A and B are shown apart, each in its own frame.
Chain A
C-alpha cells in the first residue's frame, strides 16, 4: 500500500478496499520502523492522525468525500499547524505551538486529508542539504544501500526523503531559491514550485517574503496536480496572493504535447554541469521531441547574476523577518537575562544556528546606511533584468528545460564548511524565484545510482502546462517509479 500514489489511494478509499484508518496506521507503523534511517520527521502526530483518519472514514461513509478525504500526507514543519508544534527546524521554535493554521494547512484539513506529522527541514529554510536543522540532518534514501549517507537536498529535505522512502505519498514543501526542486531532484521524486502568489503564504514561516512560495512534493505529476488543487488560490489573509481563478490541474494532464515549444537556456548547460548529468537532461529532452515537442536554444544573459542578487535580497528580507524571534513573546528565551540587551543577544545567539546567523548578518549589512544602494538596490535592478530575460524567452517558447542541480546528492558534511559551494547548489533554480515563475523537478534518470532531475520552467501561472508536460513524460518513462533500496 505504501507504494501507491495519492491518485491510486483515492481510488482504493473510494472503492472501499482499504479504510483511511488502516492506511494511516500502516504508514505510521512504517514511519516508526523506518524513519530512524532518514530522520525525515521532526514531529509525528500519531493520535491526531488516527482521529482524523476515523473522521475521514465517517465522512466518506456519509458520502461527503473529496479526492483527499482520508489520504495520509505530511507537512513541512514551516507550515503552522493549530495545536501542533511548528519548529521551522530551529531551536528558536522548539516548543512553539501555534494557535492558528496556515492557510495551506487549513486547506488540507478542509479537504479531509490526514496529516501524519511535520517534516524536517533546514533551519528557517536556509540551506541546500538539510544539514542546518536543529533536529539533525536528514539522510537521503538513495545511496544508503552503498553505506553512504547522502544529503536529500534542502531546505525541504525531510518532505523529499519521506516521499522517496514511501513513508508518505505526498508532502507539502516550500521553495525560496530551489528548496522544492533541488531536494525533489536529489531524492528522485516530483516537485512543483508554483508561481509567486499562487499559494497563500499565510502561516508559512517567512524566510524571504518576496521569494518564498509553498508547493508540492509527490512521486508523480498527477499527485502534484491533486495537491495544487487543494493549495492554490487567493487568500484574503495574504495580500501578495493573487486573485485569479484556479483551474482543475488534473483536467489537462492528458493533453498531447505535440507542438510544445521547448527552450534550452544555454547558460544552464555550462561547465558547472557534469557531462553525465547533462546527458541525462538531454536524453529527457529527446523524449519530449519524440512526444512531438520542438526544441531550440535560448539565452538568459543575466542568469549568471542570479546567485549574487539572491544572496543580497533573500538575506536582507530574512534579517527583518527573523527580528520577531526576540525572546519576548514566544519561542526560545535565554536563561536569566540580566537586562534587555542580554535577553536579545543571548536568546538569538543561542536560539539560531550558524547558517541563520550568517544570513542575518549578511542581510543586515546589505541594508545598512551607505551600503543599501550598492547592494540591495543593485540586486533589485538585477532582479528586474532577470525577469526580463525570462519574459523574452517566453516570447519564443512555451517552457524552458534545464538541469535542477549541478550534481547529484552529495555526501553529508562534504560542503558544510564552504557556504559558497553550498550556495552554488541552487545555481539553476534561484533565478526562477527572482522572476516569480513556476517550475518543476521531474525524475529524469540516474548518475552513479543517484537520481537526476529535469527542471521544467513555465511562464507565470503556467502550472497546468508544466504538470501536463511532466505527466506526459511520466507516461513514457519510469524514473519516477524507481524505489531506493
Chain B
C-alpha cells in the first residue's frame, strides 16, 4: 500500500532577552546551577510575575516575519502539573489568546519547488528548569537557572509530507529567528527544540490518520532520523493491520530507537485557567509599528538581493542568505573581494569545511570577512595560485599573520606572471627534454597530448620554485610546442 506522510511541528524557540519573561533575572546560559534563580523564579511564597516587554516585542517580530495575524489581546493561562523543575506547580503559558495568530512560511525545497507551510499560531510561555539525573548518587538535582526563560512555541498546520520538507521548514524557521535576532539559534544548548507530530494515511485519502508526537528533538539530523524512524514504525504497524495509538514518544538519536512516553489516556488534565496574577495585555498599534520598524532584512528578501546585487545563482544565494551571520560574513568578504562568485565558492568550500571540521560557528571563525575578501582579490588577480591561496588561508586561520599581502610576501607565494621570465624558463626546460618534445609533436590523440603537456609542468614548477603561474606556463608551452 502507498502512504501519504503528514507532519506538523511544534517548535520551542528560546527568546534571546537579557532577562526572564516574568522576573529580572539574567537568562545567560551556562552559569552554576541555581545562581540565576531569584525568589520569583523559585516561586517563593507571595512573589509575583511581571511581564518582560522585550519578550512581547520579540514574539511580535516573529509574528510579523511569518506574515501572521497579531493577537491584540494577549492572555496568560496557568497549565497545572507537578514536576520538580516546575517551581510554581504550573507553567504560565497562552492558550486561547496567543500573541501570534495564523501565518505562513515559504520554504525552498531541494527540487526547486517552494512549499508553503502554514503557522497555526505561536504563543509566549516560560521555560521550566532542568532535572539533572547524573552526578547526584541516585538522586536528582534541580537547576532552576532556565526556569522562566521566555519561549515562543510555534505550532504549524500539518502541511509537511516528508522528513525532507520538515527539515527544510525547520531550517527556514531557524534562519528566520536568528535573522530577527530574537533567538541565538544554538540548538546544542536547547535554544530551539522540535516536537514532531506524524501520521500516515492511505495515498490520496482525505482523512488524517492517528498521530503520534515525538518530543524534544534538538538537531536537524535527529529530527530527520526520528521522522524516518517513526514513519517506518507506523507503516509496519499499519501494513500488519494494526492501529496507531495516539501517544507521545521519545526518540533516542544515538541508538535510532524510540519509546512511548505516555498514551492519550495517561495524558494530564492540565486544568488551564487564566492566570489571575497577569492581567490581559492589549497590544496597540504603536507597539506593533515599533516592532515592525525593528525588523531586519529577512532571509527571503536577502536571497533576492544576493541574486540581484551579487549575481549569485539561486543555490548560492539561498545558502548564503539563510544564516544571518554567514550572510553578513559573505557581504563583508564580497565588499573586499570584488568577485562575489569566487567569494561565495570560497565560503562554501574551504571556509565552511574548516568551520565544520573544528565545530566552530561563523562568529567563532578566526578569519574575518575582510581577510577572506583580500584573499579572493589575490586569487582573482593571479597573484596566488589555488595551492598558494590555500597556504595563505591556513596561515590566516592559524594566526600566522593577519594581512594577506604580508603573508604572500613572507612565504614567497606570489606567482610569477612575467611572460618574458616564464618564456625563458620554458625554453630552458624544453631544451633539456628533446625526446619528450618530439614525442608530443608526433602525437595525434588530443587526450594523450594533454597528458604529455602535464609532463612538462612538473619541471617548470620546479624551475620556477613553485611560483610560476600555471595558466601562463600552459599557454606558453602550447605556443612553443605548436599545440
Contact = CB atoms under 8 A, between A and B. Distances in A.
Contacts of B87: 324, 328-329
A364 B271 contact: yes
Interface string B35-56: 0000100111111111100000
B78 to A, nearest CB: 5
A144 B201 CA distance: 78
A330 B89 CA distance: 14
Given A88-B45, A240-B277, A368-B269, A323 B89 contact: yes
Contact of A237 (B42, B50, B82, B278): B50
Interface in B252-302: 269, 271-273, 276-279
Contacts of B142: 328-329
B47 A203 contact: yes
Contacts of A205: 45-46
A299 interface: no
Interface stretch (A24-32, A92-100, A410-418, A422-430): A92-100
Q: What 10 pairs across the A-B complex have the smallest Cβ distances? A: A323-B89, A209-B276, A210-B276, A367-B271, A203-B46, A324-B43, A205-B45, A205-B46, A369-B269, A80-B46
A80 B45 contact: yes
Contacts of B80: 319-320, 323, 367
A8 interface: no
Contact of A239 (B49, B269, B273): B49
Given A317-B276, A329-B42, A239 B82 contact: no
Nearest to A340: B84
B456 interface: no
Given A88-B45, A240-B279, 19 more contacts: A80-B44, A93-B45, A102-B46, A201-B46, A203-B46, A206-B46, A210-B276, A237-B48, A237-B50, A239-B49, A316-B273, A323-B88, A323-B89, A324-B89, A329-B42, A329-B43, A344-B82, A368-B271, A372-B271
B48 A238 contact: yes
A249 interface: no
Nearest to B49: A239
Contacts of B84: 326, 328, 340
A281 interface: no
B90 interface: yes
B43 A202 contact: no
Contact of B273 (A204, A236, A376): A376
Contacts of B50: 236-239
A78 B42 CA distance: 18
A202 B82 contact: no
A238 B452 CA distance: 85
A119 interface: no
A367 B49 CA distance: 22
Contacts of A88: 45
Q: Which of A79, A205, A236, A320 has the most chain B CB atoms closer than 10 A to its own CB?
A: A320
Interface of B: 39, 42-51, 78, 80, 82, 84, 87-90, 142, 269, 271-273, 276-279
A214 to B, nearest CB: 11
Interface in A183-204: 201-204
A326 B278 CA distance: 23
Given A236-B50, A367-B271, A209 B277 contact: yes
A205 B44 CA distance: 9
9 contacts: A102-B46, A201-B48, A236-B50, A238-B48, A320-B88, A326-B82, A329-B43, A368-B269, A369-B271
Contact of B45 (A98, A208, A209, A364): A98
Contact of B89 (A79, A102, A238, A326): A326
Nearest to B89: A323
B273 A367 contact: yes
B212 to A, nearest CB: 21
Contact of B48 (A202, A208, A323): A202
A86 interface: yes
Contacts of B276: 208-210, 240, 317
A325 B78 CA distance: 16
A205 B39 CA distance: 13
Interface string A307-327: 000000000110110111110
A329 B39 CA distance: 11
A244 to B, nearest CB: 14
Interface in A234-292: 236-240
Contacts of B48: 201-202, 237-240
Contacts of A237: 48, 50
Contacts of A330: 42, 44
A367 B273 CA distance: 7
A204 B46 contact: yes
Nearest to B42: A329
Interface string A329-363: 11000000000100010000000000000000000
A159 B51 CA distance: 34
Interface string A443-475: 000000000000000000000000000000000
A211 B269 CA distance: 25
Given A206-B46, A328-B84, A376-B273, A320 B90 contact: yes
Given A240-B279, A340-B84, A368-B269, A202 B39 contact: no
B139 to A, nearest CB: 11
Interface string A51-65: 000000000000000
Interface string A368-402: 11001000100000000000000000000000000
B272 to A, nearest CB: 8
Contacts of A204: 46
A344 B82 CA distance: 8
B267 to A, nearest CB: 10
Nearest to A93: B45
A118 to B, nearest CB: 13
Contact of B277 (A98, A239, A324, A340): A239
A376 B277 CA distance: 17
